[in-house]
Amino acid sequence: MIFEFCLTIFLVGLTIKATKRPHNFPPGPRGLPLLGYLPFLSSWDPQYPHKAMKKISEVYGPVVGMYFGPSKPIISVCGHEAVKEALHNEDLDGRPYIPAALGRTFGEHLGLMFVMGQFWQEQRRFAMRHLRDLGFGKTSIEDQMTDELGDLIKDIENESELDPERIVDLKGIFQVSVINILWAIIAGERFQRNDPKFQELLRANEMMFRAGNPVRGNIPIPAFVLKHFRFAREFIGIKSELIKPFQKFVQVTIDDHQQQNPCEGEARDFIDVYLKEMNKQKDENPSTNFTNKQLISMITELFGAGAESTSSSIGFAIIHLIRDQQAQQKMQIELDQVCGQFFPTLNHRSSLPYTEAVLMEAQRCSTIAPFAVPHSAVKDTHIQGYTIPKGSVVLLNLDAVLQDSKYWKDPEVFRPERHLNEDGTKVIKSDHFYPFGLGRRMCLGDSLAKNTYFLFTAALIKKFRFEPVENEPLPSLNPKIGFTLGYQGFKAVVTPRS
């Protein structure tokens, strides 16, 4: 611990640049001359930085300016008005340099999430258009999801039958399904559970998730230091050898697609459409940004952004429903009435207001991306009248918005009814509810995520009763910090409903 602290001082010291607070900088705590405020953050909340930032905001106001290290302004934004303003400000559409993120994209500025400008716009537009055609937003992927759901349900049934008390371990179980669906969209095939290739994909994905330290990965170590000093890379958690198996897995799949000649015939999946574009641009545009490395980086990021977040959302919804048996029963009654003996489909969705409200409420109570993804100022700009210098890292506290007592009565209470009209027949869409962000950097997978989250949670609750394990503490709502906030593994008594 002491060692790490000294090392941090040393490394941060390397980035010294004389700075003073610019004119009209947002108010905020000062910290130490060299280190800024970073060492004190945990005194506000030892566990969760987004909670710490919220508490600091209660003292200084909705827009807080701090320095982490001598030259890195961090702007923490809480409160709906300020967050919304910032998300719609295009000057804040940048992303900070996050060393750990670069580790996933061959050390180059590739992918979607941490790139900016022309490159970002072109790749994002392409990805959105084609992922939508392939079923991101539409129902064509629904059959794949239904099949996957069938396998998951069989899995859970088996585990439940094997245990005399019907206790099932629900750790990581949803992620397996979500990964399989993502893979089907990207590579056109959904694996059987026992396929060795699927086991390889799961292992590679798991390793990738361990390849970056979510806290230290933000320490602003300059790129040249990272490049030359292995210990610096390891300190912030870049372990490229953990990412390689995933990259290799994807490369083999791309090679397979290439051999099947994507130029002829219809594109079956995302890799096909991307290869088609690559081939087209190779002839016309020598400086094309559609490259093999970019395709791998994009797929890596889609997995990074999509797998954990969606499965965490399903997990948290189940946990909330275990803790609130009454809500679970109400949801089951609605599902039985509307869907009869069938599983819920996307067509049922608009006729299931209570179910929808439960899903929204779980997302409100358990934000899995509490800071969105960090933004940065591409030029000097303003939030709520304060000057935000170019290069500032801007943290938009979605959790603070979703938990703000100004808009949500008793924000810490799980109460699906708050999203319904008085007689419970209609969902009310609140302006203060945007777990996927807003504006041009908004989540690129929101429709896929929403569909998956709905189909899985609704079907599981229709099929099973989830109850707490006797004589054990209730499954915890305290999130586990990672790339996003995940649920802690938990067990439940799971019984099929007849």
Ligand X SMILES: *[C@@H]1O[C@H](CO)[C@@H](O)[C@H](O)[C@H]1NC(C)=O
Residues that bind ligand X (CB under 6 A): 118-119, 122, 154-155, 158, 193, 289
CA triple 303-308-314, angle to 5 deg? 130
Q: Is 435 in the site for ligand HEM (CB under 6 A)?
A: yes
The answer to whether 63 touches 386, Cβ cutoff 8 Å, is yes
Nearest to 361 by CA among 323, 334, 335: 323
Residue 436 interaction partner, one of ligand HEM, ligand X, none, beta carbon < 5-8 Å per kind = ligand HEM
Pick 52 or 184: Cβ nearer ligand HEM: 184
Give the Å distances, CA to CA, from 496 to 163, 298, 343, 372, 461.
13, 39, 14, 37, 10
We find the least distance from the C-beta atom of residue 273 to ligand X, in angstroms, to be 17
Give the Å distances, CA to CA, from 478 to 62, 357, 481, 493.
25, 21, 9, 20
Site for ligand HEM in 97-116 (CB under 6 A): 112-113
Q: Which stretch binds ligand HEM (CB under 6 A): 213-221, 279-287, 338-346, 448-456?
A: 448-456
Selected from 453, 456, 487, 490, the binder of ligand HEM by CB under 6 A is 453
Residue 373 interaction partner, one of ligand HEM, ligand X, none, beta carbon < 5-8 Å per kind = ligand HEM
Q: Which stretch binds ligand HEM (CB under 6 A): 62-70, 336-344, 381-389, 447-455?
A: 447-455
Residue 124 interaction partner, one of ligand X, ligand HEM, none, beta carbon < 5-8 Å per kind = ligand HEM
We find the least distance from the C-beta atom of residue 275 to ligand X, in angstroms, to be 18
Pick 123 or 403: Cβ nearer ligand X: 123
We find the least distance from the C-beta atom of residue 77 to ligand X, in angstroms, to be 28
We find the least distance from the C-beta atom of residue 89 to ligand X, in angstroms, to be 22
The answer to whether 221 touches 236, Cβ cutoff 8 Å, is yes
Q: Which stretch binds ligand HEM (CB under 6 A): 43-51, 192-200, 252-260, 442-450?
A: 442-450
Cβ neighbours, 10 Å, residue 141: 21
* Residue owning tokens 């290739």: 197
Most distant pair of Cα atoms in the chain: their distance:
69
Q: Would you call 226 exposed, middle or buried from its count of C-beta atoms within 10 A (0-12, 13-18, 19+)?
A: buried
The enclosing H or E element of 171 equals none
The answer to whether 430 touches 361, Cβ cutoff 8 Å, is no
Selected from 442, 472, 478, 497, the binder of ligand HEM by CB under 6 A is 442
Residue 369 interaction partner, one of ligand X, ligand HEM, none, beta carbon < 5-8 Å per kind = ligand HEM
The Cα–Cα gap between 245 and 377 comes to 34
Identify the DSSP state of 490.
-
* Residue owning tokens 């029963």: 329
The Cα–Cα gap between 439 and 448 comes to 18
Residue 415 interaction partner, one of ligand X, ligand HEM, none, beta carbon < 5-8 Å per kind = none
Query: In 61-172, which residue ranges form alpha helices assigned H by DSSP?
Result: 80-87, 99-102, 117-133, 142-162
We find the least distance from the C-beta atom of residue 308 to ligand HEM, in angstroms, to be 9
Pick 120 or 408: Cβ nearer ligand HEM: 120
Q: Which stretch binds ligand HEM (CB under 6 A): 15-23, 281-289, 369-377, 472-480?
A: 369-377
Pick 158 or 325: Cβ nearer ligand X: 158
We find the least distance from the C-beta atom of residue 193 to ligand X, in angstroms, to be 6
Torsion sign across C-alpha atoms 442, 136, 488, 324: positive
Beta bridge mates, 67: 73
Q: Which amino acid is at 357?
A: A
Q: Is 444 in the site for ligand HEM (CB under 6 A)?
A: yes
We find the least distance from the C-beta atom of residue 176 to ligand X, in angstroms, to be 11
The answer to whether 404 touches 432, Cβ cutoff 8 Å, is yes
Q: Which residue is nearest to ligand HEM (CB)?
A: 445
Q: Is 332 in the site for ligand HEM (CB under 6 A)?
A: no
Q: Is 436 in the site for ligand HEM (CB under 6 A)?
A: yes
Give the Å distances, CA to CA, from 170 to 96, 204, 446.
35, 21, 24
Selected from 99, 437, 475, 486, the binder of ligand HEM by CB under 6 A is 437
The answer to whether 418 touches 106, Cβ cutoff 8 Å, is no
Name residues whose C-beta falls within 8 Å of residue 329's C-beta, 6 or more positions apart in sequence.
Answer: none
3-state secondary structure at position 109: coil
Selected from 300, 309, 376, 381, the binder of ligand HEM by CB under 6 A is 309
Q: Is 373 in the site for ligand HEM (CB under 6 A)?
A: yes
We find the least distance from the C-beta atom of residue 109 to ligand X, in angstroms, to be 7
Give the Å distances, CA to CA, from 387 to 35, 62, 377.
22, 14, 11
Residue 294 interaction partner, one of ligand HEM, ligand X, none, beta carbon < 5-8 Å per kind = none
We find the least distance from the C-beta atom of residue 497 to ligand HEM, in angstroms, to be 26
For residues 391 to 430, the per-residue mask of contacts with ligand HEM, x marking binding by CB under 6 A and - elsewhere, is: ----------------------------------------
Q: Footprint of ligand HEM on this chain (CB under 6 A)?
A: 87, 112-113, 124, 182, 301-302, 305-306, 309-310, 313, 368-369, 372-373, 435-437, 441-445, 448-449, 453
